[in-house]
Structure 1
Amino acid sequence: MAGVSGCLKYSMFFFNFLFWICGTLILALAIWVRVSKDGKEIVASGDNGTDPFIAVNILIAVGAIIMVLGFLGCCGAVKESRCMLLLFFIGLLLILFLQVAAGILGATFKSESSRLLNETLHENAKLLTQSTEEAKKFQDAMISFQTEFKCCGLVEGAEDWGQNFKYAQESCECPNMTESQCSPYQGFNVNKQTCLSLIKDLVEKNIIIVIGVAFGLAVIEILGLVFSMVLYCQIGSK
């Protein structure tokens, strides 16, 4: 009867040990953010009206699931436990299915999400002319964005700022004198490019990065499924 491949067995153990360490780090970081004073201040500083701890709670769940799967994979490989390997296989397969489902939903609603983003940015452009507390926070964020990415306004350029232009004047100023990049406004040369297109480009680039990471994880998960099932079959045929 065929024996269990030592190379496959310890490769499976090493892979899942790294998997378990990643889960432990994610869980520890998420718990620290959730319970520590400094962590709460970091999360609260980015509050945009929704529960700031939703993402942290999701990370806690993800870290815990990865830890459990890593533990099952390690113990299943070392102890040659078919039960643990089967549980590891089922858990990893469910995660893979969820990733595929999320990818399909993301592709289906891509145009809808693009439309919602466009509508949200057009609506937020109105905050640039207001003087409420909410508007001030958004204006500060826009000034930082304009300074970093050399743009001005959201939709109509510098005109979006209205009477508040004096607060954003420095961040809107165009360092170049070429007509293709600058345009005159109230006696100043300002960046002609609006921030709307840059924000859309950044969102699209981040989506591509997320898709790339998800694809890489899917490849690793498929390898984990194959190795665990091969080891499962080898143990059964001893």
Structure 2
Amino acid sequence: MKANANNQITGVIIMAVGLTVQGAYHNFRDILDAKFFSIPTFLVVIGSFIFVIAFFGCCGAYKENYCMTLTFSVLLILIFILELAAGISGYVLRNDTRELVSNALNSSMKSYGGENAGDITLVWDEIQVDFDCCGVYNSSDWGRANAAKFNETFLPMTCCRQQTGAVGYVACPDPTSATLRKTGCIDSFGDFIKAHAFFGILFACYLAKQIKLQGVSSY
């Protein structure tokens, strides 16, 4: 029963993480395709699934119901298969994902500063400030993607580290100075993911342990 309670808590936590990520990065949908937000959606689904599994485990153990206990065991096997498939897919498609994100970012740069591209402009400004980056791979991407507005000496304001409130379609005061954000956003994304991957691995190990305990206690 205690292990089932832990799984219920785990399910709620996973759902909360997925919903939080979706809410925090909702505006990024203006730049990235919806497929890039499948991970937080997947977390919500998995969290709900784990909660249901824990419910069947609790009810099956309490009522000593064979059907519910059997259902519980089948669901445990299914979630293990899903975790295994997700891990393999993530490893195999890691390079393709980087290319897809890069193409989406490059495409959106063409609309930056346009009359009907306020959302894209705002999101790019937020990305470059939050991730301390400029362009996709470096600042020269702006000139290649949007030559009508930018070049090596005329970049979005957020490509340079500025005082609070200096955000928008205004040139960097001095793109050649130390204030220029030299790291590309695609690399900043990668560094962010790597920095948090360790915690994800620990959480995955904890979840696997809980599932193993549930599998043992169900027999």
TM range (shorter): 0.5 to 0.7
Residue 185 (structure 1) aligned to one of 175, 181, 189: 175
Report if the CA contact (8 A) 2:53-2:76 is conserved. Answer: yes
SS across alignment from 1:127: coil
1:84-163 to 2 correspondence within 5 Å? Answer: 84-128=68-112, 130-134=113-117, 136-157=118-139, 160=142, 163=149
**Which position in structure 2 is the counterpart of 1:178?**
none
Counterpart for residue 37 of structure 1 = none
Q: CA deviation at 1:95?
A: 0.7
Query: Residue 206 of structure 2 aligns to which amino acid in structure 1?
Result: G
1:81 paired with 2:81, answer no
How far, CA to CA, are the matches of 1:201 and 1:16 in structure 2?
Answer: 36
Higher fraction of helix: 1
User: Taking structure 1 as reference, are residues 102 and 25 closer, same or farther at Cα in structure 2, changes over 3 Å only?
Assistant: closer
Aligned residues: 197
Alignment of 1:1-238 (within 5 A): 13-20=1-8, 23=11, 47-48=29-30, 50=34, 61-128=45-112, 130-134=113-117, 136-157=118-139, 160=142, 163=149, 168-169=156-157, 171-174=158-161, 184-185=174-175, 190-196=179-185, 197-206=187-196, 209-228=199-218, 232=219
Q: Give the TM-score, by structure 2 length.
A: 0.65
Kept after mapping to 2: 8 A contact 1:76/1:84: yes
**Contact in 2 for aligned 1:16/1:73 (Cα 8 Å):** yes
Judged with a 3 Å threshold, the aligned counterparts in structure 2 of structure 1 residues 212 and 199 are, in CA distance, closer, same or farther, namely same
Q: Identity over aligned residues, as a percent?
A: 26
Cα drift, residue 92 of structure 1: 0.9
- Deviation, 1:86, is 2.2
Structure 1 residues 209 and 147, CA, compared in 2 at 3 Å: closer, same or farther? same
RMSD: 4.1
Give ranges in structure 2 of 5+ residues lacking alignment: 163-172
Q: Which has the larger radius of gyration?
A: 1
Q: How far apart, in 1, do the equivalents of 2:100 and 2:84 lie?
A: 23
CA 205–117 in structure 1, closer or farther in 2 if over 3 Å, else same: farther
